[in-house]
Structure 1
Amino acid sequence: MADLDFAYKNVRESVPAGTPGKWAVATLYARAALYEGTYRKYHNELNLSGSANAFLETAARISGEIIASKKFTIYNTGKPEQDYATLFSSQDLTANSEVILVNIFDLNKSKSQNVNSTVFGDYEQAPAKDLLQTYLMKDGSRFTDVANYAQLGFVAEFKNRDPRMSQTMVYPGWIRVPDPTPYIQRLNKNFTGYHQLKGYVNSTDNAILNGVDFPVYRYAEILLTYAEALAELGTLTQAQLDQSINLLRKRAGLPDLNLAAANANPDPALQLQYPNVTANAGVILEIRRERRVEYAFENMRFDDLMRWKAGKLLTTSPQGMYFAGLGKYDLTGDGVDDIILIDRTATIPGEDQKEKNSLGVKLIYYRTGLIGTDATVYLKNGNNGGNIVTENVTRNFEEPKFYYRPIPQQQVILNPKLKQIFGW
């Protein structure tokens, strides 16, 4: 922390584009302070909770100084359906008001990247339904308060949601160039059925694909850090909420978060995920929701679960789309069936024998059954429906052991006085 403080006070503010300067240092400084403060607060096995507030105060102070500098603003052109996505698909972020540190890519300057095949594809790991259920409705209400929310199909669960959801995950009706027809989700290969869209560049131009700048540090993180640190300290005010979290909600076109209302009515679904949050529970849970949604797929989630002592959430295997059972389903939102789920023992007909929908397009066939069988799509209850399941292993998270790493054996040999902790 002393090193970060020294760097914050001494690193130049004026630096070449793409180079870490004073405000990039400040971002890392605030991030480290928030991590350590919340880690000490929630990890009672360390007996360090008495020093937690000092770190939280530092996180609030440094993020507050970044806000007070007025050097950065949330990128918001009044287009909630696209402003968020623009941050992850732009050819030039050097002048973007939200980007504190940018990694510059340009095919013509021999520094390029193309992450399309990694971001989007039929790989085994895919967005989980639990993430989709975290997004609010467009009117600010909770999706998990909707009747039968867990049994809604792909098309229904995307209706009237936080616009960031359709800028993060492929939505019904999305068109992937150069194909002019709506993309139909792929369901096989242990896939949840959901595709990541955030960071995907919908183009066939190689120069564009390889020239997308990457926002390393965003001002959005500063606002989230500021709000969380103050909420954990128990000093967060509505005015501070308005100058932090609610700026992110405004970009998304969502209603403001009200401090008193949140604390008076904490989200039961989030309370089940984070049972160790007690004081200020309502607003802390909403800040955590906002953090998960705003930073989905930006490599924040694991560290957040570790510092919040929420590792047990990793024991839940990812599940995907819900299907009521065998039959035909529309996945593009036009009311026309696109796929058909058949029993795993049935034979998929030849191309000339496949059933066609009302548009004259052949249905996509999937052999359906329980996980562990030779089916193509695994449903929780097999032919009786349920969510797509991706694995049948038992996940285990030993607390507090798995929050830490063992001392390397070589070091123990060199110094026999070193003792492993927490069961390692």
Structure 2
Amino acid sequence: MARLCRALQYYGLIKNYGSAPWYSAPIATDDEEALYKTQDSRSLVVDSVMADLQYACDYMQEGSSRTRVTRYAALGYMARIALHEGTFRKYHEEISELAGTANSFLEKAVWATDEIMSSGQFEITGKGAAAYRDLFTNPDLSKNKEIILFSDYDKDLNRKNNTSTVLNWQWNLSRSLADSYLKSDGTPITEADRTKTFVDMFTDRDPRMAETIMYPGFINEGDNSTLPTKIVLDYGGLGQIKFLPRTDATYGGWGENITDLPIIRYAEILLINAEAKAELGILTQNDLNATVNLLRSRVEMPEMTINVPIDPALEALYPSVSGALKNVILEIRRERRVELACEGFRYDDTMRWAAGSIYERPFEGVYLPGFGVYDCTGDGVPDVALFKSPNDKMGYTDEELKELSVYYTEDENGAPKQIYLSEGDKGNIRFYSDTDEDANKFIAPKYYYYPLSKDELVLNPNLKQPIGW
């Protein structure tokens, strides 16, 4: 367990800074040579991390607990790290001297996931949207066979979480995520679909979309509400409901919720297996059927085929992908995004894929065909309004607007407020804070790493800033 924890700690440093001083034994307080040494090479640190992970996988007990770290959890962590390192070395030109070693890590990711998959201990559970939802709203995941490791919350033990804040607490989800969900026939959305308004955009889509993004007419029953929740245009209009407690029994308010939270689940293992094999160029249709298609089958979506056409939208997001299995790699990245949405993987994924240019794109929310009033709860009655300014309410009276949530793109003096429409008088919600192109420019490879603080450099002047800093 100690070596597993050391591996996780050190690989966190690698992800943030690219390298770190490696210590394999305790340091004496007067050992200045060790205390003040510079970073070791990425190769040395990562090889040491992998050795720690292998030790944990070899010697930890299998066990049946899902709240204690077992051999299967260690294998899961190894798979995560091996996939991250393999793809990072493959796609990052600033460490091109390590590109030739990428496959060894991808092969280790395949080995670790194969060990879990062949154990017979885990499976994709349930059928339909409700089964997917249950993974993130259940007060007891202890018997769910998809769960490898989870955090247990319990009212009697006074272990509680704050998951109720996922809905409209200072953020919403992106239109980019929403557009990633396939249509129910298994095809990507079209340009016409991208101009659908909030009420229409959920029609005939992958069921996971409406289990992640708040859909029209959603009633937050856990909060004792009987009315549909209105969208918040100032946040973009696409509220998160994945992880939101759905019942009084699990929804206790601020810091008082008792839904269990997955840490490692079998779906991630299957996606790692598929991605690693695709990156190695060895993925087959049988592999897809044993991994990605189990996830699609649960929510009754059409299967992915090895000959899936390339979606130009994915190709534009990830221009560095190439090779005979380019089409499948792109589609696996889509599947990973929608299946694992809001579970804390997206930023690391874009970093390891060297896809930082994604963050130069303005954050977008719902599409509106123009200023005016809209029904966004789906009951036929307007509930939100967007006007250019309080001076121009398009003829609507205050009495007509009193029951609506009203938003403006400018104040009474014409100064920008928070949001605007991407095409001036129509388009997707965007944010004025994203309009500074220089501030939003992603500088590669610099921004793939964090800088060391001045305090750290003063404490140890032998440390060097990461690449680009």
What is the TM-score of this pair, normalised by structure 2?
A: 0.81
Tell me, which stretches of 5 or more residues in structure 1 are unaligned? none
Are residue 266 (structure 1) and residue 310 (structure 2) matched?
yes
Contact 1:369 1:379 in 2 (8 A): no
Distance 1:147 1:303 in 2: 29
| Map of 1:393 onto structure 2 | 436
Distance in 2 of aligned mates of 1:418 and 1:110 = 43
User: Are positions 1:355 and 2:400 aligned together?
Assistant: yes
Cα distance, 1:11–1:128 mapped onto 2, change above 3 Å: same
Name the counterpart of 1:151.
Answer: 195
Contact 1:107 1:207 in 2 (8 A): no
Q: Which residue of 1 aligns with 2:359?
A: 314
The 2-side partners of 1:421 and 1:92 are apart by 43
Please give the root-mean-square deviation of Cα atoms over the aligned residues, in Å: 2.4
Q: Is the counterpart of residue 171 in structure 1 residue 215 in structure 2?
A: yes
Within 5 Å, which residues of 2 pair with 1:245-256? 245-256=292-303
Partner secondary structure for residue 340 of structure 1: strand
Cα separation, partners in 2 of 1:94 and 1:65, compared to 1, 3 Å: same
Task: Find the aligned partners of 1:136 and 1:302 in 2 and give their Cα distance.
Answer: 21
- Asked whether the 8 Å contact 1:18–1:101 carries over to 2, the reply is yes
Shift of 1:173: 1.4
Q: Does the Cα contact within 8 Å between 2:385 and 2:406 map onto a contact in 1?
A: yes
Tell me which residue corresponds to 2:243. Answer: 199
CA distance 1:182–1:421, change in 2 (3 Å): closer
TM-score (norm 1): 0.89
Q: Which residue of 1 aligns with 2:371?
A: 326
When structure 1 is superposed on structure 2, of 361-370 and 193-202 the one drifting more is: 361-370
Q: What is the SS of the residue equivalent to 1:133?
A: helix
The change in CA–CA distance for 1:332 and 1:416 in structure 2 (over 3 A counts) is: closer
Matches within 5 A, 1:107-122: 107-116=155-164, 118-122=165-169
Are 2:250 and 2:259, in contact at CA under 8 Å, matched by a contact in 1? no
**Paired residue for 2:117?**
67
Tell me the number of residue pairs that the alignment of Structure 1 and Structure 2 aligns. 406
Uncovered stretches (5+) of structure 2, i.e. residues with no partner: 1-49
Match of 1:162 among 191, 197, 206: 206
**Whole-angstrom CA distance in 1 between matches of 2:123 and 2:273:** 14
Matches of 1:364 and 1:112, distance apart in 2: 32
Counterpart contact for 1:122–1:186, Cα < 8 Å: no
Deviations 1:27-56 (A, max 9, x none): 001111111100111112212111000000
**Residue pair 2:141, 2:260 contacting (<8 A) in 1 also:** yes
What secondary structure does 1:109 align onto?
A: coil
Return the letter of the residue paired with 2:421.
L
**Structure 1 residues 229 and 108, CA gap change in structure 2 (3 angstroms):** same
Give the C-alpha shift of residue 114 in structure 1.
Answer: 3.2
- Identity rate of aligned residues, in percent? 40
The alpha-carbon distance between structure 1 residues 153 and 207, as it changes in their structure 2 partners (threshold 3 A), is closer
For the pair 1:89 / 2:124, whether they are aligned, the reply is no
Residues of 2 paired with 1:315 and 1:164: CA distance? 27
Distance 2:399 2:389 in 1: 16
Partner Cα separation in structure 2 for residue 109 and residue 421 of structure 1: 43
86-95 or 316-325, which deviates more: 316-325
Q: CA deviation at 1:387?
A: 1.2
In the TM superposition, what whole-angstrom CA distance separates every residue of 1:267-324 from its partner, at most 9, and x where no partner exists? 1000001000001111000100011111111110111011100011112221111111
SS of 1:236's equivalent in the other structure is coil
Find the counterpart in structure 2 of residue 366 from structure 1.
Answer: 407
CA contact (8 A) 1:112 1:211 kept: yes
